[in-house]
């Protein structure tokens, strides 16, 4: 009985470590006009306004191929390296939507919904409004090896 309980506890501990080591889920969404029947609006923590998001993300998941801490003149930001499909999707969306907003979600939480000021070209995007510890944690989770 003790061996069985110890085995269950070890299994639960490994499962919780595996969940903690999961890659962060970073997604970009179009901000759309809210209409009746839409999902509940979300509160943008940057502006305090309520916004609605497109039903499907523009990019995320396997589109994100790397994360890094990047020093910018305004401070540390999270650098997001995109694969070819993600870079193309972000370029196309920003090309067509300068002056509109795009939402950035991390692990299902709305981080911000900035206004697109210019076309984003290349395979990098930069996310601000994060602390050093948050950036370090996201980068560590992204590159963590799953437990054996």
What CATH number should be reported for the domain holding residue 112? 3.30.1360.200
The answer to whether position 118 is within a domain reads: yes
- In the chain, count H helices and then E strands: 3, 9
How many structural domains comprise the chain?
A: 1
Predicted pLDDT of residue 135? 94
pLDDT tens for each residue of the chain, 148 residues long: 443 333 333 343 343 344 444 889 999 999 998 887 767 789 888 888 889 999 999 999 999 999 999 999 989 999 999 999 999 999 999 999 999 999 999 999 999 899 999 999 999 999 988 999 999 999 999 999 665 5
> Burial level of 37, CB count in 10 A (0-12/13-18/19+)?
exposed
Predicted pLDDT of residue 45? 87
The answer to whether position 80 is within a domain reads: yes
Q: Domain range for residue 53?
A: 2-143
Beta pairing, strands 26-32 & 102-106 = antiparallel
State the CB neighbour count (10 A cutoff) for residue 35. 7
Q: How far apart are CA 104 and CA 124, in angstroms?
A: 14
Q: Are 116 and 97 in contact (CB under 8 A)?
A: yes
The answer to whether position 48 is within a domain reads: yes
DSSP one-letter code for 113: -
Predicted pLDDT of residue 48? 87
Q: How far apart are CA 99 and CA 97, in angstroms?
A: 6
The answer to whether position 148 is within a domain reads: no
Predicted pLDDT of residue 146? 61
> Coil, strand or helix: which one is 97?
coil
The answer to whether position 53 is within a domain reads: yes
Q: How far apart are CA 8 and CA 146, in angstroms?
A: 19
């Amino acid at each position: 009985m003790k061996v069985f309980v110890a085995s269950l506890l070890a299994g639960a501990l490994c499962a919780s470590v595996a969940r903690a080591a999961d890659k962060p889920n970073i997604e970009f969404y179009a901000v759309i006009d809210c209409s009746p029947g839409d999902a509940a609006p979300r509160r943008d923590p940057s502006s305090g306004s309520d916004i609605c998001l497109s039903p499907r993300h523009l990019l995320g998941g396997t589109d994100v191929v790397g994360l890094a801490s990047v020093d910018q003149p305004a401070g540390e930001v999270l650098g997001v390296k995109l694969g070819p499909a993600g870079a193309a999707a972000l370029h196309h969306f920003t090309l067509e939507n300068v002056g509109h907003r795009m939402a950035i979600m991390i692990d299902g939480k709305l981080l911000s919904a900035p206004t697109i000021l210019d076309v984003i070209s290349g395979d990098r995007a930069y996310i601000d409004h994060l602390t050093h510890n948050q950036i370090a944690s996201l980068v560590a989770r992204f590159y963590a090896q799953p437990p054996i």
